[in-house]
């Protein structure tokens, strides 16, 4: 049975709303029934210059609820005080013949997910996350939401951009409003119980270790925890310190989390509620520990002093500065010597977490839309140095071997068409860090630091000059979200933590194939942070380049949701990849 279109009615948000709504409904019995008698969803927006503040809600009585927003809520909430004085307020009231309480709560949650991902929206004012379990019309939620968004987009393309643009946003992918999987729900419940018990004891240094491979849903879980721990504090009359601080050592991901905190009002609690670990450590004393610290990409924490950080181990310092530390960790994404953790140290951490029943493991693959055998092939290549026959994928994940880098680039451009972006998201070209790139101007004979293989040559990430308008439009966007980067090559430093529709990966000369095995050659890498020696606490110098270069390859190979396109510079590795490919897996 085809799902009907929703009814979307737009009115002015203000004291005359009831009369205007009555006029808009007129004698239309269908509108009257679904807007006044059925549950409804509504969006209130206020525009100030080119930025918007929005509130998303659901109700069984739109007239009563709007009256409360206008006259009662401003007495106790600052966000409603601001909306009460708006001169530009609009209200979208949405009805549907299949609406019930569970469905309206679920769609309200999905609309908050969408709206919190829109560039022009400064604040999203709603204090709930409403994801529901199964109910009578749950299978229609996605379809009805898309139909609602389509109609909203027809009314205002700035406030409600195309659904495809929303889904491509890094904000969307890290939003706390995603519906959690059963595995994530169980993890969230366990973590919340552990937090409650630890805070009741007033102990310091309780470690909750969350482990999972790339694409296992770690970031969404952490974002959800961050929001849930802090959101109720926004209701309090007195300004309160955050219950949970969020830290990350990755510049691109830091930008995303800062935007989320700002849009959802969490920055009101503390402007540094999201920051880098060094900034947090330098500003917090172990004499006055905070309640909770959440660390995303904890494998990027430093295990030696560097720049403004004078300590020896950032995780150890955080455990002294907080009652509870929730650290999200993937041993196969450690990329630099200052992040290196020995196997023995990691086993000690895991052992400590297991003893207190505080080791959370995520196994479900949330990113790569492929069969188990295809995922296994990718892992074996990166982490076990094995190349076997490329399996045929029943889910239509495309794992292809290009005969030269130009063909891989052309295929990435093809998959980055407007039509495919709308359906499946952005595609980008990536490479191992085997071509020179430093934070200085390029040589005089070059316009940029470049990835060059024979007649193929493109700039490294963030190397193209931008106009003032482009810089303004790209402010706050991750590397892959910026349109001009389709003509650049990304590295682990710009793509880690993000996903793509198709990922094209040029495997540089640091990865070779010898005697039936994938091997790593640090002398062919330009990644000094991975190839330099690591000095241990006892002064011993060790080289862990092979492990770090292996992790670099693993990060790059696990970015693509629907496809992975490969080309290897090393002739023997390229030959091995082509031999592993059937004609259907070759790009030529």
Question: pLDDT tens digits, residue range 362-418?
Answer: 988 878 999 999 999 999 999 999 999 999 998 889 999 999 999 999 999 999 998
DSSP letter (8 states) at residue 51:
E
Q: What gap in Å lies between CA 323 and CA 204, rounded to an integer? A: 4
Long-range contacts of 261-266 (CB under 8 A, 24+ apart): 262/122, 262/123, 263/116, 263/121, 263/122, 263/123, 263/124, 263/171, 264/116, 264/123, 264/124, 264/176, 264/227, 264/231, 265/79, 265/123, 265/125, 265/234, 266/226, 266/227, 266/230, 266/231, 266/234, 266/242
> What pLDDT was estimated at residue 169?
86
- What CA–CA distance (Å, rounded) separates 198 from 177? 26
Q: In whole angstroms, what is the distance from residue 516 CA to residue 99 CA?
A: 60
Low-confidence ranges of the chain (pLDDT < 50): none
CB-based contact 294:331 (threshold 8 Å): no
- The closest of 471, 429, 470, 463 to 446, measured between CA atoms, is 463
Token readout for 578 is: 């082509």
Paired residues of 52 in beta bridges? 47, 121
Alpha helices in 89-135 (DSSP H): 101-115
Q: How far apart are CA 113 and CA 169, in angstroms?
A: 11
The torsion angle over the Cα atoms of residues 311, 316, 320 and 326, rounded to 10 degrees, is 130
Q: Residue 106 in contact with residue 143, Cβ under 8 Å?
A: no
Could you tell me if 461 and 494 are in contact, meaning their C-beta atoms sit under 8 angstroms apart? Answer: yes
Please name which of 374, 355, 356, 357 lies closest in space to residue 365, comparing C-alpha atoms: 374
The Cβ of residue 548 has, within 10 Å, a number of other Cβ atoms equal to: 24
| Entry pTM | 0.84
Residues 6+ apart with CB under 8 A from 62: 21, 35, 36, 40, 42, 93
The whole-number pLDDT of residue 477 equals 84
Question: Domain ranges in the chain?
Answer: 7-161, 182-362, 372-587
What whole-number distance in Å separates Cα of residue 75 and Cα of residue 176?
Answer: 28
Both structure tokens of 195 = 């937090």
Contact criterion met (CB below 8 Å) for 378 and 390: no
DSSP 525-563: ---HHHHS-EE-TTS-EE--HHHHHHHHHHHHHT-EEEE
What pLDDT does residue 380 have? 97
**Predicted pLDDT of residue 1:** 63
Nearest residue to 105 via CA among 36, 177, 159, 175: 177
CATH class for the region spanning 182-362? alpha beta
């Amino acid at each position: 049975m085809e799902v009907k279109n929703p009814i979307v009615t737009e009115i002015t948000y203000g004291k005359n709303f009831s009369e205007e709504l009555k006029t808009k409904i007129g004698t239309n019995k269908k509108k009257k029934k679904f807007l006044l008698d059925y549950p409804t969803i509504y969006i209130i927006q206020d525009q100030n210059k080119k930025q918007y503040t929005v509130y998303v809600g659901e109700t069984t009585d739109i007239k009563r609820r709007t009256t409360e927003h206008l006259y009662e809520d401003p007495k106790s909430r600052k966000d409603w005080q601001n909306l009460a004085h708006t001169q530009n307020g609009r209200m979208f009231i949405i009805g549907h013949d299949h609406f019930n309480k569970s469905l309206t709560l679920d769609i309200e949650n999905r609309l908050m997910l969408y709206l919190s991902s829109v560039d022009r929206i400064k604040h999203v004012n709603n204090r709930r996350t409403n994801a529901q379990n199964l109910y009578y019309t749950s299978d229609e939620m996605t379809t009805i939401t898309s139909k609602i968004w389509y109609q909203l987009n027809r009314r205002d393309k700035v406030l409600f951009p195309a659904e495809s643009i929303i889904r491509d946003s890094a904000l969307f992918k890290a939003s706390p409003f995603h519906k959690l999987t059963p595995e994530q729900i169980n993890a969230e419940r366990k973590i919340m119980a552990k937090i409650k018990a630890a805070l009741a004891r007033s102990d310091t240094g309780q470690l909750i270790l969350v482990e999972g491979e790339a694409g296992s849903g770690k970031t969404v879980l952490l974002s959800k925890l961050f929001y849930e721990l802090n959101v109720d504090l926004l209701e309090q009359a007195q300004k309160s310190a955050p219950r949970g601080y969020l830290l990350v050592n990755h510049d691109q991901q830091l930008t995303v989390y800062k935007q989320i905190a700002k849009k959802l009002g969490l920055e009101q609690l503390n402007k540094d509620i999201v920051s880098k670990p060094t900034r947090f450590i330098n500003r917090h004393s172990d004499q006055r520990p905070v309640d909770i610290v959440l660390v995303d990409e904890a494998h990027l924490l430093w295990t030696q002093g560097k720049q403004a950080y004078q300590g020896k181990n950032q995780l150890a310092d955080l455990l002294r500065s907080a009652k509870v530390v929730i650290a999200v960790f993937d041993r196969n994404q450690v990329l630099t010597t200052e992040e290196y953790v020995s196997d023995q140290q990691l086993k000690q951490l895991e052992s400590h977490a297991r003893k207190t029943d505080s080791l959370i493991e995520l196994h479900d693959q949330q990113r790569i839309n492929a069969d188990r055998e295809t995922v296994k092939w990718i892992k074996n290549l990166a982490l076990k140095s094995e190349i076997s026959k490329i399996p045929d994928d029943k889910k239509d994940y495309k794992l292809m071997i290009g005969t030269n880098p130009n063909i891989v680039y052309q295929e990435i451009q093809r998959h980055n068409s407007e039509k495919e972006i709308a359906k499946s998201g952005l595609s980008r070209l990536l490479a191992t860090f085997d071509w020179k790139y430093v934070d200085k101007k390029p040589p005089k004979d070059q316009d940029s630091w470049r990835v060059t293989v024979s007649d193929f040559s493109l700039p490294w990430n963030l190397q193209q000059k931008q106009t003032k308008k482009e810089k303004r439009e790209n402010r706050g966007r991750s590397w892959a979200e910026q349109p001009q980067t389709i003509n650049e090559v990304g590295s682990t430093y710009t793509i880690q933590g993000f996903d793509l529709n198709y990922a094209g990966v040029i495997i540089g000369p640091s990865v070779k194939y010898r005697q039936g095995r994938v091997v790593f050659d640090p002398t062919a890498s330009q990644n000094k942070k991975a190839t330099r020696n690591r000095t241990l606490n006892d002064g011993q110098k060790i080289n862990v380049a092979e492990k770090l270069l292996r992790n670099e390859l693993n990060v790059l190979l696990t970015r693509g949701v629907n496809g992975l396109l490969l080309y290897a510079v090393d002739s023997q590795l390229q030959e091995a990849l082509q031999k592993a490919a059937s004609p259907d897996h070759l790009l030529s």
